[in-house]
Chain A
Amino acid sequence: MAPFVFDDVSIDTPRLHLRPLVKEDVSRVLEWARDQDVVKNFSFFAGGVDAARVAAYIEAKQASPADLLLAVFERVGGSSSTPGTSVSTSTTP
């Protein structure tokens, strides 16, 4: 199988828009990453996170040809999307 190209991944569902997570999304990630009930099952967040750590994580995933880290946005009003209102997803081919 040829190497995947992740830069232009864009996935749309009736209510959601998924696109690669970028460093500019750090503040949005921190909104939910500091909610212990959300991250209780993830060791990455166990010791608490800050912007630098999240940014480094995103950067590492961006540099990996085998990883795809997606941000998920919920649409508002049917067509526009409001960044950071929903979930984050990752796949590792």
Chain B
Amino acid sequence: MNDNARLGIILKREARGRGLAAEALAGLMDHAFGAMGIHKLYLNVLTSNDKGIHVYEKMGFVKEGVLRAEYKLRGEYRDMVRMSVLAIECPTEAARVALRREHAVRILAISGSLRARSSNTALLGAARTLAPKGVEVVLYEGLGGLPHFNADHDGDAAPPAVADFRSRVRAADGVLISSPEYAHGVPGTLKNALDWLVGGHQNEIVGKPVALFNASPRAGRRLHVGGMSAAAEFPPAAMAFDSEDSRAASGRAIVAVLASARFPGSAF
């Protein structure tokens, strides 16, 4: 019910002193924290079992306390140390995977096009597919549902769609925008979304890493200097693709941009 498991181990004499107990523990911990989804592993060990306590500590277990007269052994009640390790503390591979998942860099991908078969949206889909380990790309699909920006409707009780959009931006470690060019600028829907961010009380977009993609061979640089730059600070890596860019080159560029986002705080 609590996703806990109690662990015990017996090591035969010939196996001692060779690190096999630690290796078996590592395998068990990987399995428990991985396949079984255990949250916490715990065990009781006699307070006199210094070697055992040392092995468990080496594997990341920490002492929770002493259980007084807990265990009856050969007619005597013996004290035991209660030790445990949590999945998020575990130094084994399973825990590292869990930690990477927990601390993955989250990128909010916004397509400036509402078209069902938009190439810009497809480009963001490719970014999601090509994202390296530790980077999670999530496509924002509410652009068309945002109301027209009106400062009178903003404030503590912003429209629900706006509040949702702002929370998604706020939760993201970076924003990836792929937008077509309409009449030498960004589409009105995207500009409208950015206007809502400018009006946000918590400045959701200010200072947040933003990268600009564009599927058009002509429009990228116009977009770069267009209306969006007023709402977000575009770092040097903000980019558009030239007409010479092949699909493969675009893919490599996406990976390069996303790879630079592996570590929170890095500009890309």
Contacts and interface: CB of A to CB of B under 8 A. Distances in A.
Nearest to B78: A41
A46 interface: yes
A16 B23 contact: yes
Interface string A27-55: 00001100101110111001000000000
A22 interface: no
Interface of B: 1, 3-15, 20-21, 23-24, 26-28, 30-32, 36-38, 41, 46, 49, 52, 71-74
Contacts of B28: 11, 18, 70, 89, 91
15 contacts: A1-B3, A11-B28, A11-B30, A13-B26, A16-B24, A16-B27, A39-B10, A41-B73, A85-B14, A86-B12, A91-B8, A91-B41, A92-B6, A93-B5, A93-B36
SS class, residues of chain A in contact with chain B: mixed
Contacts of B72: 43
A93 B36 CA distance: 9
A56 to B, nearest CB: 17
Contact of A32 (B10, B31, B37): B10
B60 to A, nearest CB: 16
A3 to B, nearest CB: 11
Interface residues on A, range: 20 to 34
A39 to B, nearest CB: 7
Contact of A89 (B24, B36, B38, B49): B24
A4 B14 CA distance: 32
Given A91-B5, A92-B5, A35 B37 contact: no
Interface of A: 1, 4, 9, 11-16, 18, 31-32, 35, 37-39, 41-43, 46, 70, 72, 74, 85-93
A70 B32 CA distance: 13
A14 B24 CA distance: 10
Contacts of B26: 13
Given A13-B24, A86-B11, 19 more contacts: A11-B30, A16-B23, A18-B27, A32-B10, A35-B12, A38-B11, A38-B13, A42-B73, A43-B71, A74-B15, A74-B20, A87-B12, A87-B15, A88-B9, A88-B10, A89-B10, A90-B7, A91-B41, A92-B8
